Amino acid sequence: MNVIASARNAAAREYRLVAQKGVSGKVALEGARLVRDAIEARVQILGLYLTESFARSAAGGEILSLARAAGMGATLITERVADSMTHTKTPQGVFAVARWAPLSEQDLLRLQFHTLVALDGVGDPGNVGTIIRTSAALGVGGVVLGPGCASPSNPKVVRASMGAMFRIPVSELRDLSGFLARVRRLGMAVVVSDPESGVPPDQIQFGERAVLVIGAEARGVSDPVAHLATAQVRIPMAHDVESLNAGAAAAILIYEAVRNIGAH
């Protein structure tokens, strides 16, 4: 394998650019789990970089075997170059640049699904990644990110999703309310989280197809989105607990929505 020994190398610079500022159609991956998941999900890897010590490890051997089976090459990097690329406190010494972009609204609506999760103004990347991961685990058809949400290509979103973003459709829309109006015309329910006016999940009829909308923890959903709701849902909580963060609340509501729809 070729060896990159300078942090000024074009490949190292590209990785840092994708990781720090984002590049349309690309995501930066760091860590054995993420890189392995991307390869196994048949995501196109544009560059795979490993330190010599990681390449000699069991995890490194596994990734190199997967890469070879997929027809991918790999490049060794020095520890100094790895230090210039890492964004984690305990770097493992493996990085990749992958080709990935959110699905368009048109392509999303062509899919067959019973449930979508839409996020409105959820700006914390950890919450966004966690919700993508939860949605994939519970069999949701896709995740829609509206205005004010952390970008799905944000490295913190990618890490928090633990590779799930490569296994579930993710769409990023500028006009969430317009999208919800269109899915309502298709006969889908639009169930919006509302800790004040909502009712417990077991009192809601989600129907056969639904979009569950989760708002930001502090503000909730925006007014245009709230006006499109066919129902409002809340999580019953003890009186001395004011709220849950968006990731925890979403996990509960997604589970209830999928269970409710699956019962029909």
% of the chain surpassing 90 pLDDT: 71
Where residue 157 falls among pLDDT bands split at 50, 70, 90? Answer: very high
Q: Are 94 and 56 in contact (CB under 8 A)?
A: no
Domain ranges of the chain: 3-99, 105-262
pLDDT of 262 > 80? The answer is: no
pLDDT, residue 232, reads 93
pLDDT, residue 49, reads 98
pLDDT of 215 > 80? The answer is: yes
Residue indicated by tokens 């849902």: 233
Whole-number Cα distances in Å, 82 to 7, 57, 61, 68, 164: 8, 16, 18, 22, 25
Superfamily the domain 3-99 falls into: Ribosomal protein L30/S12 (3.30.1330.30)
Q: What is the mean pLDDT of residues 100-128?
A: 92
Fold held by 105-262: Alpha/beta knot (3.40.1280)
Where residue 210 falls among pLDDT bands split at 50, 70, 90? Answer: very high
DSSP state string for 168-212: S-EEE-S-HHHHHHHHHHTT-EEEEE-TTT-B-GGG----SSEEE
Euclidean distance between CA atoms 26 and 97, whole angstroms: 7
Same fold, 3-99 and 105-262: no
The β-bridge relationship of strands 94-99 and 44-51 is: antiparallel
* Span 218-259, pLDDT tens digits: 788 899 999 999 999 988 877 666 677 889 989 999 999 888
Which among 168, 138, 17, 6 is positioned nearest to 75, based on CA atoms? 6
Where residue 202 falls among pLDDT bands split at 50, 70, 90? Answer: confident
Euclidean distance between CA atoms 63 and 59, whole angstroms: 6
* Span 18-73, pLDDT tens digits: 998 878 899 999 999 999 999 999 999 999 999 999 999 999 999 999 999 999 99
pLDDT, residue 204, reads 86
Backbone phi, psi, residue 82, to 5°: -60, -40
pLDDT, residue 48, reads 97
**Three-class SS state of 263:** coil
Q: How many residues does the chain have?
A: 264
Q: Name the average pLDDT for the chain.
A: 91
DSSP state, residue 84? H
